[in-house]
Amino acid sequence: MERSKFMPISKEDLKERNIDQLDFIIITGDAYVDHPSFGTAIIGRILEKEGYSVGVIPQPDWKTLDSFKILGKPRLGFLINSGNIDSMVNHYTSSKKRRHDDFYSPGGKGGLRPDRAVIIYSNKAKEAYKDVPIIIGGIEASLRRFAHYDYWSDKIRRSVLVDSKADLLSYGMGEKSITEIAKYLSFGKNVKNIRGIRGTAYITSSLENLKDYIEVPSFEEVSESKSAYNKAFKIESEEQDSIRGNTIVQKHGDRYLVQNPPATSMSQVEMDEVYKLSYAKTYHPIYEAEGGIPAIKEVRFSITSHRGCYGSCSFCALTFHQGRVIQNRSQDSIIDEAKEMTEFPDFKGYINDVGGPTANFRNKACSIQEKVGVCKNRQCIFPSACKNLKIDHMEYLSLLRKLRELPKVKKVFVRSGIRYDYLIYDKNTKFFEELCKHHISGQLKVAPEHVSDAVLKQMGKPTREVYDKFTKKYYEINKKVGMNQFLVPYLMSSHPGSDLKAAIELALFIKEMGYMPEQVQDFYPTPGSLSTTIYYTGVNPFTGEKIYVPRSGKEKAMQRALLQYSKPENHALVKEALIKAGRSDLIGHNDKALIPPVPPKSRSKKSSEEDKNTSTNSSKKSQGMKKTSSKAKGNSPSRDKSKNNNKSSFSKKADNNKSPLASKAKAKKR
């Protein structure tokens, strides 16, 4: 594809376009992918639409100042983000081991962005051009805007706005705030005096002219007191609504962090405008020789239909970034994008996904949200569905029907997460039936995460009973529509509330299913989530309840091993865990046992033959696991989805005489 279809990334590009000086330069930790699934592309194209010239410096070498001067000095400002994923999550696994690859870099090569990229990039840009305004944004800046617990250093860090020395922080989805910032800067207003824009935060030395704000415990207080940290998090969480939300102040030393209320929700017309901008829909051609950018594979033939989520998952920071209120595109806008997609030379007839953070949350939860905002004292769907929740899939179904009828489209998949409790709350089963018949490729991925109700309560997930009902209904509908499809559940170990007893309960659930997860997800404490706050403080800030938190590497390893109890290399850990939990009854050769007394690989040929002759039906099912592949997704800060060792996947068909949980279970590659 021609370079002219992309925003300029070099002096040669500027010369070809007769640009002497750019208005804005975006510095990003990702390679340059000009697709609306990437924040850099959206912000850049929005500003171009407003008449500004915009260039991109993707993945600059942070060790050399010249990398930050490659496009010259911007007239109005630097816009800095770490990329689609927090740089620390991008670099480290949940066990803090360094990753070797990066799906957002050329050829998947790791190491092309620094740790804490927003801070490093901002300091370098300031060093390059001291008088140029610096505005930070994206997921890393957004979720670190207050004093926050940092898992990697195991301490409380200051707001990223303080450490980066940036002038403004644009949090959440920044289309509205960045256009206002650009307008004021173009009018000649000093960035130090831009203070009232919704969806932004700034640092000030005085609150003299500030009215109607809520002050939360200071950085110093939350660093010294976990109860103060909980208090601050609770207030911060309750004020993240564009209608109900108040200005929040948090003192850092002798200065104040001020967060203005969130930007107003985008209308459907505004959302449509964002997605019809002139994106190239692929990565910049300079990456072709290195094998391209792996992350494009997941999104090139996928369509974002909406933003926001009211799902209440405690380990997800999405509501702190995109918010609980659904903002959607019109059906016409989505269909137009699909038609454009069918003309791509590499389109094979398959639309990989049509959805958002939660695919079947296509519209606002209730009419109350539209008038007075989201409720502060209750969630929409947890612990059960609110009486005001609109449960209706027909508009989403009508969209899917129109898409699958388009010429050149063979199949339209739904691969964003389906909220299964919302699905079974719908008394009209038409969507469920057509989902199974037309929009699943052999398996449906869902996220029960756990089966212990005590753990599920802390996760903000429905009870096991709800999942049992969904599973039963799923197989009933598949039988009704003449399909033979399977369920692949995401499962998580070591979440706050999960002790060894709960982990063993989950292991027994896996045994009941009759197949073993090839990969499992360890809880990853990332900034901005309720679960991370509980992990740090040991107390649920909304209930005041003390929560057990698995912290030691040894216990986390045992909980993880229990989810893969049949692997010979996990035998010692599983055995130790069972003995420690007083469940030695699960060690043996009987039907209920999880493991034999001796690991299979160390037993003699004779004993192995004896085990073979006496093995139970369930033990047979744990063999023959397949390898799996992973796909990168950058729109969700909630789960560590960027690498394949953090996804759950299963193999081997289950015994149809088992409970509905295990009925007809099978898995393919993910």
Residue positions in the annotated binding site?
A: 309, 313, 316
Contact 27, 39 (CB under 8 A): no
Q: How far is CA 171 from CA 161, 290, 307, in A?
A: 11, 33, 15
Task: Determine the Cα–Cα distance for residues 70 and 60; give it in Å rounded to an integer.
Answer: 9
Extended strands (E) in 456-600: 486-493, 521-522
Contact 241, 374 (CB under 8 A): yes
Contact 174, 137 (CB under 8 A): yes
Helix %, strand %, coil % of the chain (to 5): 35, 15, 50
DSSP-derived letter for residue 321 is T
CA angle (89, 531, 372) in 5-degree steps: 105
What is the radius of gyration, based on Cα positions, of the chain? Answer: 25
The answer to whether the peptide bond before residue 383 is cis (omega within 30 degrees of 0) is yes
Q: What are the tokens at 503?
A: 């982990």
Task: Determine the Cα–Cα distance for residues 383 and 380; give it in Å rounded to an integer.
Answer: 9
Task: Determine the Cα–Cα distance for residues 663 and 142; give it in Å rounded to an integer.
Answer: 42
Contact 635, 37 (CB under 8 A): yes
Task: Determine the Cα–Cα distance for residues 25 and 42; give it in Å rounded to an integer.
Answer: 14
Contact 24, 170 (CB under 8 A): no
How many other CB atoms are found less than 10 A from the CB of residue 20?
9
Contact 272, 304 (CB under 8 A): no
Q: What are the tokens at 370?
A: 């539209």
Contact 313, 638 (CB under 8 A): yes
Task: Determine the Cα–Cα distance for residues 150 and 115; give it in Å rounded to an integer.
Answer: 13
CA angle (658, 660, 666) in 5-degree steps: 75
Tell whether the torsion through CA atoms of 504, 506, 507 and 512 is positive or negative: positive
- H or E element that contains 251: strand 247-252
Which residues does residue 258 pair with via DSSP β-bridges, in sequence order?
202, 249
Q: What are the tokens at 70?
A: 């490659």
Which residues does residue 255 pair with via DSSP β-bridges, in sequence order?
252
Q: What are residue 446's phi and psi, to 5 degrees?
A: -130, 170
Amino acid making up residue 48: E
- H or E element that contains 36: none
Task: Determine the Cα–Cα distance for residues 293 and 582; give it in Å rounded to an integer.
Answer: 49
Per-residue DSSP letters for 157-214?
A: E--HHHHHT-SEEE-SS-HHHHHHHHHHHHTT--GGG----TTEEEEES--TT--SEE
Residue positions in the annotated binding site for [4Fe-4S] cluster?
A: 309, 313, 316
Task: Determine the Cα–Cα distance for residues 219 and 250; give it in Å rounded to an integer.
Answer: 7
How many other CB atoms are found less than 10 A from the CB of residue 208?
6
Q: How far is CA 408 from CA 214, 298, 336, 401, in A?
A: 55, 20, 14, 14
CA angle (638, 362, 414) in 5-degree steps: 70
Q: Helix, strand or coil for residue 389? A: coil
